[in-house]
Homo-oligomer: A and B are copies of this chain.
Amino acid sequence: MVTSMLSAQIRTETLLSPDGNMKMTFSLSEDGTPNYSLSYSDREVIQPSCLGYTLRGDASPKDPMTYMRVSYDTVDMGSGFAFVEAVKSEFDETWEPVWGEESHIRNHYNELAVTLAKKDFKGKAGKDVQMVLRFRLYDDGLGFRYEFPTQDNLKYFIVMDELTQFRMAGDHTAWWIAGDYDTQEYNYAQTRLSQIRETLPKMIFNNASQHVVGPTAVQTSLQMKTDDGLYVNIHEAALVDYPTMTLILNEEDLSFKADLTPDATGYRGRLCAPCTSPWRTVMVVDDARKVLASRLILNLNEPCALEDVSWIRPVKFMGVWWEMITGLRSWAHGSRLGHGANTENVKKYIDFAAEHGFDALLVEGWNEGWRDWFGNQKDEVFDFVTPFPDFDLPGLNEYAHSKGIKLMMHHETSSSVVNYERCLDDAFAMMKKYGYDAVKTGYVGDIIPYGEYHYGQFMINHYNRVLKKAAEYKIMVNGHEAVRPTGICRTYPNLVGNESAMGMEFRGRVLPHHVTVLPFTRLQGGPMDFTPGIFEMDMSKINPNSKQQIHSTLCKQLALYVTQASPIQMAGDIPENYLKHMDAFQFIKDVALDWEKSVYLAAEPGDYIITARKAKGADEWFVGGVTDENTREMTVDFSFLEPGRKYVAKIYTDAKDADGVNNTIDTGSEACVKYEIKEMKVTSKTKLKVRMAPSGGFAISIK
Report which A residues bind B (CB closer than 8 A): 59, 61-62, 64-65, 67-70, 155-156, 206-210, 263-265, 267, 270, 272, 324-325, 327, 330-332, 370, 372-379, 418, 421-422, 424-426, 444, 449-452, 458, 461
Give Cα A513–Cα B347 distance, bound, in whole angstroms.
73
Set B65, B69, B270, B376: member contacting A70, Cβ < 8 A: B376
Chain B nearest CB, measured from A260 CB (Å) = 14
Known: A449-B449, A449-B450, A450-B458. A375 touches B68 (CB 8 A): yes
Chain B residue at minimal CB-CB distance from A456: B450
Give Cα A426–Cα B372 distance, bound, in whole angstroms.
30
Set B207, B264, B444: member contacting A449, Cβ < 8 A: B264
Q: Is the CB–CB distance between A156 and B378 below 8 Å?
A: yes
Chain B nearest CB, measured from A618 CB (Å) = 39
Chain B nearest CB, measured from A348 CB (Å) = 22
7 contacts between A and B (CB under 8 A): A59-B375, A62-B375, A67-B207, A69-B207, A69-B208, A265-B450, A450-B451
Chain B nearest CB, measured from A444 CB (Å) = 7
Give Cα A630–Cα B610 distance, bound, in whole angstroms.
92
Chain B nearest CB, measured from A159 CB (Å) = 13
Q: Which residues of B contact A64 (CB under 8 A)?
A: 330-332, 370, 373-375
Set B62, B376, B424, B451: member contacting A156, Cβ < 8 A: B376
Q: Is the CB–CB distance between B451 and A263 below 8 Å?
A: yes
Chain B residue at minimal CB-CB distance from A462: B418
Q: Is the CB–CB distance between B458 and A61 below 8 Å?
A: no
Chain B residue at minimal CB-CB distance from A505: B67
Q: Give 6 closest A-B pairs by Cβ, nearest first.
A: A449-B449, A264-B451, A264-B264, A156-B376, A70-B375, A64-B374
Chain B nearest CB, measured from A372 CB (Å) = 6
Chain B residue at minimal CB-CB distance from A262: B450
Q: Which residues of B contact A59 (CB under 8 A)?
A: 375-376
Give Cα A69–Cα B461 distance, bound, in whole angstroms.
25
Chain B residue at minimal CB-CB distance from A377: B270
Set B264, B425, B444: member contacting A67, Cβ < 8 A: B444
Set B156, B267, B270, B375: member contacting A69, Cβ < 8 A: B375
Give Cα A372–Cα B449 distance, bound, in whole angstroms.
24
Give Cα A209–Cα B69 distance, bound, in whole angstroms.
7
Chain B residue at minimal CB-CB distance from A445: B69
Chain B nearest CB, measured from A274 CB (Å) = 13
Give Cα A376–Cα B68 distance, bound, in whole angstroms.
11
Q: Is the CB–CB distance between B61 and A376 below 8 Å?
A: yes
Give Cα A65–Cα B324 distance, bound, in whole angstroms.
8
Chain B nearest CB, measured from A442 CB (Å) = 11
Chain B nearest CB, measured from A482 CB (Å) = 16
Chain B nearest CB, measured from A62 CB (Å) = 6
Q: Is the CB–CB distance between A375 and B449 below 8 Å?
A: no
Give Cα A210–Cα B65 distance, bound, in whole angstroms.
17
Q: Is the CB–CB distance between A68 and B264 below 8 Å?
A: no
Q: Which residues of B contact A267 (CB under 8 A)?
A: 450
Known: A62-B374, A378-B272. A208 touches B67 (CB 8 A): yes
Q: Which residues of B contact A70 (CB under 8 A)?
A: 375-376
Give Cα A450–Cα B451 distance, bound, in whole angstroms.
9
Chain B nearest CB, measured from A205 CB (Å) = 10
Give Cα A418–Cα B372 distance, bound, in whole angstroms.
24
Give Cα A422–Cα B155 distance, bound, in whole angstroms.
25
Chain B nearest CB, measured from A449 CB (Å) = 3
Chain B residue at minimal CB-CB distance from A422: B421
Q: Which residues of B contact A375 (CB under 8 A)?
A: 59, 61-62, 64, 68-70
Q: Which residues of B contact A426 (CB under 8 A)?
A: 425
Give Cα A660–Cα B627 distance, bound, in whole angstroms.
88
Q: Is the CB–CB distance between A451 and B265 below 8 Å?
A: yes
Give Cα A64–Cα B339 distance, bound, in whole angstroms.
14
